[in-house]
Structures are given as C-alpha cells and as structure tokens.
C-alpha cells in the first residue's frame, strides 16, 4: 500500500502482540540522523507502549545505511534477540549511488531473513528528497519506526524464536 494512502503510525493497539519479555535490537544508521534518530525513537517508543521492557531493547549505531547489513548480521549471529529492526534513510541525489545503496541494503537484509532464525525488520526509507523523509519520520505520514516495531512484534508472535 502506498504511504500516501496510509499513515505509518496507524495501528490498532488491541491487535498488536505484547512485547513483554522479548529482546529486540534496533540497529540504525548515523547518516541522515535527523531522520534515523526519529525513526529509531518511534520504534523504541512503540515497543515500550506495547509491553517491551526498555532494558530489553538494545540500540546499535552504524555509520551508514549500507552498514546496516553487517550490523544486523552480527546481531542475528549472536542469537540474543527475538527480532532486529534495521533503520536507515537514503535520499536520492544526483548520482547512481542511491540505487546501489538501496539495492544492496535490500538484498543484504532480505538474505538475513531467508538464511537466519531471527526476523530482521526492514526500516530503510528511500525518498526523493528530505521533505519526503521528514513526512515518514514523524511528519504528516506518521513514523516508519512505529510500523517497524509493530511488524517486529507480529513476526515474533507468529513465528517465535
């Protein structure tokens, strides 16, 4: 569903599984931190609002979105977490760099989901400009971090760890 037609922060809390007793890692990019910190905070606040104890949420920063792959991979291999939320933001520029980063991160995180035993939630937003990123990180379209947290709780409840 297109984000323009759906607020990323809209969810029915009565249909979200509890995060009580669950351990969740949030790995986030330092690049575009105005956006990624808002996404990270949205995810953490939503996890807490749905029962995850704050001490069971661990935060890990990486320099850029491409490094989310390595960070998430290390967290999967640690086998300490019920889910991992990977958060980044890539804003289109004047070169093909945007395409390479977006394709690489998508493939890398997808591979972790196929080969690992821990759900890795895709929280990479890819936009044409800063305004679109702001709209998706707490602006008029909600916060993708909220959506990632809800997704993590659903994946844990559905498939366990």
Question: Is the distance from CB of 113 to CB of 119 less than 8 angstroms?
Answer: yes
Residue 6 catalytic? no
Quick one: which of 30, 13, 39 has its CA closest to 144? 39
User: CA-CA distance, 121 to 82, in Å (whole number)?
Assistant: 11
Q: Which of 97, 107, 111, 130 is catalytic?
A: 97
- Going by C-alpha positions, the residue among 12, 4, 28, 5 that lies closest to residue 153 is 12
Phi-psi region of 101 (alpha: psi -120 to 50; beta: other; left: phi over 0): alpha
Contacts 24+ apart (CB under 8 A), 52-55: 52/19, 52/20, 52/22, 52/24, 52/153, 53/19, 53/20, 53/21
Query: What whole-number distance in Å separates Cα of residue 131 and Cα of residue 74?
Result: 32
Catalytic (active-site) positions: 97
């Amino acid at each position: 569903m297109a984000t323009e037609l759906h607020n990323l922060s809209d969810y029915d809390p009565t249909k979200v599984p509890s995060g009580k007793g669950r351990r969740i890692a949030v790995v986030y990019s330092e690049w575009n931190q105005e956006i990624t910190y808002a996404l990270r905070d949205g995810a953490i606040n939503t996890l807490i609002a749905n029962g995850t104890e704050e001490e069971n949420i661990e935060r890990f920063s990486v320099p850029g979105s491409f490094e989310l792959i390595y960070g998430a991979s290390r967290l999967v291999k640690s086998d300490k977490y019920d889910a991992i939320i990977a958060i980044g933001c890539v804003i289109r520029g004047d070169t093909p760099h945007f395409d390479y980063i977006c394709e690489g991160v998508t493939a890398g995180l997808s591979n972790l989901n196929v080969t690992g035993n821990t759900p890795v939630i895709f929280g990479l937003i890819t936009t044409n400009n800063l305004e679109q990123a702001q709209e998706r990180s707490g602006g008029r379209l909600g916060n993708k971090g909220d959506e990632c947290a809800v997704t993590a709780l659903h994946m844990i409840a559905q498939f366990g760890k």
